[in-house]
Chain A
Amino acid sequence: MRLADRSFDAIVIGGGHNGLVAACYLAKAGKRVILFEASDHLGGAVTTGEITPDYMISTASHLIEALPRRIEKELKLSRNGLRFAARNLPTIALSRDKRHLVLSSRRRDIAALREWNAHDAAALVEFSARLKAYAAALRPLLLGVPPSFTGPSSDAVTALRRLVWRMRRLGQPSFEDLLRVLPASIGDLVDATFETPLLRAAFAFEALRGTAEGPYSPGTAFNLIYRRALQLETRGTSLPRGGMGALVTALRHSAEGLGVAIRTGAAVRCIIVENNVAVGVETVAGEFLRAPAILSSVDPRATMLDLVGAANIDAGLAMRLAQTSRRGATAKLNLALDGLPTISGLAPAEYGARLLVVPSLGELDQAFASFKRGEVPAELGMEVTIPSVADTSLAPAGHHVMSVLIQHVPYEVAGGWTLQRDRLLDRVIETLARYAPDLRARIIAGEMLLAPDIEAKFGLAGGEWHCGEMRPDQLLMFRPTPELARYRTPLRGLYLCGAGSHPGGISGLAGQLAARTVLSEGGRA
């Protein structure tokens, strides 16, 4: 069937999770939607792949942490095949002296901590409570369509006034604390909060995960609040059965069930602009398709500069897009293992948890310094999961797969990755082997994705996972730039719905909110 034979209300460019979510919501509202994905499979960096035959793993991101319950429910992801191998995964910071720390404020875990350090046990309870309260206070601002700043009667005025109320309602000490925490560095914050080095380092790592900053970079404490706010919408950290690809498969089924036409292997060459209106797309194959609404879930920079073209947008906007910061800092290691590695001191039930391998705060700072200079850090902070513990479908019986996110790995290193790749790999394995001495012997196969690999494989510029770092100048009404915020663009009929738009994260929220925006405007009015 030729495309021109059918007409569509909306075209979605890019079949990542946000693109799929946007397509689903539009289709749910009765719109005829077609989705184009350049590669052969959907999902982008949210995908399951094979390390070596029979060993499956989430190739890049490996946990669902921010998918709101509402999206899960409204898109009937469960009915469309999404199953969870584990929900509410606990987080355990591994300790070199085998006194691993469960980062939670559950009574049992706190009791364990109290035996170790009573001050920190109390501090952790209070810290967790405050974090949750701050996240709750900021959530309405952080997780909706960013307010519009259009003068004295704008919804920004209302939003900020409400924020004042919510912040005040926290109570005087918390309000005061929040004002201090918002601009603070995570290092200064944990230094002032905890005594146990492991606790300090673990929370610092949590705040730095996925960023290109160090523990003492001002503003990093906010990351904790932001992530916590996203989690408030969810059912906790979850492990989808079949890896992250399962989420995309469910979204695909949901979309197809709603009548979305999905075309993979169909790259869009450009967005056709006529007199300041985006009217359609042209595919690389040379097909033309028009629709009143076009949503792009690919990188805003690529959307505006490559698909729309610099000639159709203002020079300042082009420059601001070019300047959006994306410093990839996270690498991924996937390992196929012939058995469960023994992590000394870890209870059998805890092997399925989210494991943090963190050096000390000082070493974390050193790692950041190495990252800045384009060197392989001496000590690495890592987030490790062994998904096959809960999901036996991933590996042959008795065998396992391990998924490792490595923080502070630069995009470029002195000497080039060809020379340094093995050095990094050695360092990672060596670090892990401190906790699991038998790991090295169990490795059957592995793959490591560095920032340039992630860029090449998933089209994420700079190997940065969020399509634009999550920083105050690139969040909310500034994400990705002020003129492209709120999912709209200066071109009528063109919308952004990807991770580069607010709020980012693997939440699908950008897709959902963009779809809502399109619907509220009735496509191109």
Chain B
Amino acid sequence: MTGGGDILAVDGAGPGEAEETLNFQMQPEFEEPQATADAGPFSTASDEPPFSRRVLTTPLHLSVAMESITNRWTDWNGYTTPEILTTLDDEYRALRHAAALADISPLVKYRIGGRDAAIYLDRLVTDNAMRLSVDEVMPVVFCEDRGFVVGDGHLFRLGEDEYRLVTDELHLAWLLDSALGFDVSVEDVSVALAGLSLQGPHAAAILNATGFFEVETLRPYAARWFDIVGMPVYASRTGATGELGFELWLDPEDAPMLWTRLIDKGAEFGIAATGYALRELARIEAGIPRAGRDYLGAFSAVDAADASTPFELGLASLVDLENGHFTGRDALRRLKQQDPRHLVVSLALDFPEPVQFCAVERQGEIDGTATSVVFSPALGINLALVRLKYRPAPVALSVGVDLREGLSVRRLKIPARLLTEPVIGSPLRHAVPAPLLAEY
């Protein structure tokens, strides 16, 4: 039984039939998607040969599929994931003005435990991980010996000796190699843990209504366990959207139930289920580079020039060169004294319609590559993350875009400007307590 079949099964279910579908989910014969998810995209548990043409789905696939009116799917870490469920504009509106719910289960999750977990992680990441308290989260970046970024992610401290690292890409080999000399265990728990993201000004209010009492008191990057009708859910005030928001981590078996409850309780707050395109849009608006897209991890960069230091990614704030050793510290100390080779920066292109472009020019020379380009619905302009050759003095930038009109192409050269800080960032995202609807 493949995910493809499952999509067909719920295709007929209109929005009005949501209640019925909920029951659907509870029926034992529909546990199949979970069994599929247990196998995971990269798992030794699977008996199925890797080439079998099955659709790999997350535990939330059925629930998410119910929200899809466009039937647009994409691949995220090997999982079939919605790209757009309704329209990007509607999903975007929910994110910025109500709340956007998304399935983030395809993220890679590692459980790190053991007596030396804290010092192991402190040596792994560039920041001082020793200061992370239980129930706190920190954005982290980790480098190899030469100071090039291997990957980035979020580090959760779940207990005294228990951590979770959530990343975009696989890092098991590096995590295990780094464990030499430490009493730690590293385990890929990606399939054992489902993730939901609820982002937007009404996020706290919806969670509150769903039973996450006093969720508003969570500070940014804080996390706590909640009991939602008997389901243990770990909620963290995180999310790469520049918006007030939370991420919810729980047993895959419970995930569809929580999803339904959130959709249910969130209806009056304008909640909308959203897809991967919105995640990308929000991330680019917030100026957050993604591994594999805007930069290459040190172990995938065939050309060493394609690898980046944290400074080149604009992540200097995540590097603490003073407190304790970490892998790459000596190299980064040296590199800090030098000019970066390139910089990953946000670029605004004041042009009123969506365009695609790749090359960024400075004084007539190609000086950079646009790695992610989006049209910001709120700003009505194009935003991009670009990798620019480093120049000490500011120089005017431009991009060449091909505008298609019917079958003909018009080439335009448009001035672009560098953004020194994210164009969009809700002040609510720092507010403690987070505003509930009444106060909003």
Interface residues of A (CB under 8 A from B): 273, 275-276, 305, 309-319, 322, 483, 490
Contact = CB atoms under 8 A, between A and B. Distances in A.
Nearest to B323: A275
* Residue from A310, A314, A318, A490 having most chain B Cβ neighbours under 10 A: A314
A318 B180 contact: yes
Contacts of A316: 144-145, 177, 327
A311 B177 contact: no
Nearest to B326: A314
Given A276-B330, A317-B145, A490-B330, A311 B325 contact: yes
Interface in B310-351: 322, 324-325, 327-330
B182 A314 contact: no
Interface stretch (B57-65, B116-124, B186-194, B202-210): B116-124
A317 B178 CA distance: 10
Contacts of B174: 315
Nearest to A482: B145
Nearest to A305: B181
Interface in B4-44: none
A315 B180 contact: yes
Contacts of A311: 119-120, 122-123, 181-182, 324-325
Contacts of A273: 325
29 contacts: A276-B330, A305-B180, A305-B181, A309-B181, A310-B181, A310-B182, A311-B120, A311-B122, A311-B181, A311-B324, A312-B325, A313-B325, A314-B327, A314-B328, A314-B330, A315-B124, A315-B144, A315-B145, A315-B177, A315-B178, A315-B180, A315-B327, A316-B144, A316-B145, A316-B177, A316-B327, A318-B178, A318-B180, A319-B180
Given A276-B329, A276-B330, A314 B181 contact: no
* Residue from B120, B145, B174, B329 having most chain A Cβ neighbours under 10 A: B145
Contacts of A317: 145
B187 to A, nearest CB: 18
A403 B39 CA distance: 61
Contacts of B177: 315-316, 319
A135 to B, nearest CB: 35
Given A276-B325, A310-B123, A313-B325, A318 B181 contact: yes
Contacts of B181: 305, 309-311, 318
A313 B329 CA distance: 9
B370 to A, nearest CB: 32
Nearest to B175: A315
A315 B123 contact: yes
A310 B174 CA distance: 15
Contacts of B324: 311
Contacts of B122: 311
A471 to B, nearest CB: 22
Nearest to A304: B181
A272 to B, nearest CB: 13
A130 to B, nearest CB: 40
A273 B329 CA distance: 15
Contacts of A318: 178, 180-181
Given A311-B119, A315-B145, A315-B180, 5 more contacts: A310-B123, A311-B122, A311-B324, A316-B145, A319-B177
A490 B325 CA distance: 11
Nearest to A490: B330
A487 to B, nearest CB: 17
A319 B179 CA distance: 9
A310 B322 CA distance: 18
Contacts of B123: 310-311, 315
A252 to B, nearest CB: 34
A314 to B, nearest CB: 4
A319 B177 CA distance: 7
Interface in B282-336: 322, 324-325, 327-330
B145 A483 contact: yes
A150 B70 CA distance: 57
Nearest to B147: A314
A314 B178 CA distance: 8
Nearest to A306: B181
Contacts of A305: 180-181
B328 to A, nearest CB: 6
Contacts of B322: 275
Contacts of B328: 314
A317 B145 CA distance: 7
Query: Top 7 nearest A-B pairs by Cβ distance?
Result: A310-B181, A316-B145, A315-B178, A314-B145, A315-B327, A314-B327, A318-B180
A313 B145 CA distance: 9
Contacts of B145: 314-317, 483
A318 B182 CA distance: 11
A305 to B, nearest CB: 5
B120 to A, nearest CB: 8
Contacts of B329: 276, 314
A8 to B, nearest CB: 25
A490 B332 CA distance: 13
B174 to A, nearest CB: 8
* Residue from B122, B180, B182 having most chain A Cβ neighbours under 10 A: B180
A322 B180 contact: yes
A311 B121 CA distance: 10
A315 B120 CA distance: 10
Contacts of A312: 325
* Residue from B120, B124, B322, B327 having most chain A Cβ neighbours under 10 A: B327
Contacts of A483: 145
Nearest to A273: B325
A316 B180 CA distance: 10
Contacts of B325: 273, 276, 311-313
Interface in B66-113: none
A275 to B, nearest CB: 8
A314 B122 CA distance: 12
A270 to B, nearest CB: 13
Interface string B154-194: 00000000000000000000100110111000000000000
B280 to A, nearest CB: 31
A151 to B, nearest CB: 13
A154 B122 CA distance: 35
A311 B116 CA distance: 10
Contacts of A490: 330
Nearest to B142: A315
* Residue from A275, A309, A315, A319 having most chain B Cβ neighbours under 10 A: A315
A374 B328 CA distance: 39
A305 B181 CA distance: 7
A317 B144 CA distance: 10
B309 to A, nearest CB: 14
Contacts of B119: 311
A402 to B, nearest CB: 43
A153 to B, nearest CB: 17
A276 B145 CA distance: 15
Given A315-B124, A316-B144, A483-B145, A310 B330 contact: no
Interface string B122-161: 1110000000000000000000110000000000000000
A313 B330 CA distance: 9
